[in-house]
Chains A and B, each alone.
Chain A
């Protein structure tokens, strides 16, 4: 009982910059402000070509609206704090890491290989240890999808070590 009370107290006394509301508010405000500043570097058109408003005006208006509304939800969160979210599990970060692998491999080695590596990595980390199923998600299925897209849509996938072999033969 005492533990629960202590935990509750700990949450309440959490510094404001650790709270989800503040994190979300800060990220939106920072990104919007950077984008807003960048709109000032957009080219302008002479009045004769100007269609109603300058090209930068509309995005500027939207960004100001986003900043105002974000400030409003942050203000409202003082009255009604957001529900505290559970900590993200290890599998989430591993899946996120697989996206990074995917980007690196597809950029440097091969698109098909990147899909295979991600599929096997995700499937394995999510609990699949059977070899046949790893083969299925990592090689058999991606190969079928590749051939299907290539034959039906006449798609040309980006060049890479495996893709080049496929196109060569």
Chain B
């Protein structure tokens, strides 16, 4: 009961409500604009959160996350281009349905299933995050090391694209985290005499570079692409018939999305693809999929929004992000002096339940905004790229510079922008780089501390049951794609 009251706290604070309203609106705009999204938007707004208290800052980031994930569906349905990668599966049926003159119905279903998926995942978050946090009390350094390895192998295995390329990208991300002074011995690594590098490479320049600047370069190659827009009269609530057809799909996809979200992978992107294919597998009319099936929209949208709450579970309980956007949220937590993990649940329940409540309210808010304002948000896509992207560049440069007032950060951002473009071009996902970068210190730190505990004996890892379990799961995660290929 106390926790429920704590969850409702954002409703009784005008400041938090204002932050939530702004975050939801901003998230929707980011989600609607192809190429941007909650990850880039969260990274760009991070410097501004410094002017807020920790709870307001994280509420802002989480509301952007929830609304941004849904916002991608609006563009997916109306112009056949996913606003965010998580909405890619929504295009498959959303656009064909819109072409049949039922854009309002398609968006109505996307809005309802996103809201249900989002709320479902917050419930999962409220129940499972504290349990996971309690379990984490059993974890020592070796267990955390094995858990981080498991997370990275899962990311490689079920993430988008080739598992080997994902592993290379994750190893590269960890390698970036080793730049600077070694945190245990203060010995310089990869600094090459550049003093500014001794503090390491910041997370924000890398994220903004890999997402915003590389996308700007991608957009420069797509200037002649013409989008066929479908007119939208109004968003319609699903009919009784539609509810009957889709309620099982929505619930199933909400479960799938929450589960996938908990695993450190690409969150909503993978969740929506699995949610969509499962919806097709269980459907009585699988032949309608790809031609405007309402179940297809429900399956993809419920899953990608359910992944938001799921991805917050390991982020808050263990300090291991479940997606690229939660990696930004994790950075926000650390910048504001909040250390995620089991102690957070014991010492600051008001803070945590405030976040849970804010996520719940954000899901309701984007339902209202989406339902009444989708038509207006869809107009944002009319801003031409030749005006939009130079503006995004300006904000990216200033945002990156502002965190440590270092011009080197801006160069690093540009470098990662160019690198990110070529990585994507040759089939390397950039998400594992981000997760690797954020987990790098944890992986190396826990490995070295474990070796101190084990007196340098690597075999001692195998004497810990939890470690062995995670290693076996990691092995399975690695060979799973090979087995799938052979089938």
Contact = CB atoms under 8 A, between A and B. Distances in A.
Interface of A: 20, 24, 28, 35, 38-39, 42-43, 45, 49-53, 55-56, 58-59, 62-63, 65-66, 69-70, 72-73, 76, 82, 85, 88-89, 91-92, 94-96, 99, 102-103, 106-107, 111, 115, 118-120, 122-123, 126-128, 133, 136-138, 141-142, 145-146, 149, 152-153, 155-158
Contacts of B448: 51-53, 58
B385 A126 contact: yes
A141 B223 contact: no
B194 interface: no
Interface in B355-399: 384-387, 389-391, 393-395, 397-398
B168 A66 contact: yes
B468 to A, nearest CB: 20
A51 B164 contact: no
21 contacts: A24-B426, A39-B189, A42-B188, A49-B185, A52-B450, A55-B184, A62-B174, A94-B220, A95-B216, A99-B417, A103-B414, A118-B390, A122-B389, A126-B220, A126-B386, A128-B384, A141-B390, A145-B395, A152-B51, A153-B51, A155-B398
Interface stretch (B246-254, B274-282, B400-408): B400-408
Contacts of B451: 51-53
B402 A45 contact: no
Contacts of A119: 390-391, 393-394
Give the interface residue-count category, chain B.
Answer: 35 or more
A136 B418 contact: no
A141 B178 contact: no
A49 B182 CA distance: 13
Interface of B: 47-48, 50-51, 162, 164-165, 167-168, 171-172, 174-175, 178, 182, 184-185, 187-190, 192, 216-217, 220-221, 223, 384-387, 389-391, 393-395, 397-398, 401-402, 405, 407, 410-411, 414, 417-418, 425-427, 444, 447-452, 456
A150 to B, nearest CB: 10
Given A45-B185, A52-B452, A118-B393, A28 B414 contact: no
Contact of B427 (A42, A82, A88, A146): A82
Contacts of A62: 171, 174-175, 178
A157 B447 contact: no
A51 B221 contact: no
Contacts of B175: 35, 59, 62-63, 66
Nearest to A136: B387
Given A69-B164, A92-B217, A43 B188 contact: yes
B160 to A, nearest CB: 15
A4 to B, nearest CB: 23
A123 B389 CA distance: 8
B189 A55 contact: yes
A62 B176 CA distance: 10
Given A56-B189, A95-B217, A152-B48, A146 B398 contact: yes
Secondary structure at chain B's binding surface: helix, strand, loop or mixed?
Answer: helix
B185 to A, nearest CB: 5
Contacts of B417: 99
Secondary structure at chain A's binding surface: helix, strand, loop or mixed?
Answer: helix
A89 B452 contact: no
Nearest to A119: B390
A39 to B, nearest CB: 8
A36 B223 CA distance: 40
Contacts of A56: 189
Nearest to B395: A145
B449 A52 contact: yes
B158 to A, nearest CB: 18
Given A52-B448, A55-B182, A62-B174, A42 B390 contact: no
Contacts of B168: 28, 66, 69-70, 73
Contacts of A42: 187-189
Contacts of B398: 115, 145-146, 149, 155
A128 B188 contact: no
A102 B190 contact: no
Contacts of A149: 47, 398, 402
B43 to A, nearest CB: 15
Contacts of A157: 401
Given A55-B189, A146-B398, A123 B386 contact: yes
Nearest to B167: A69
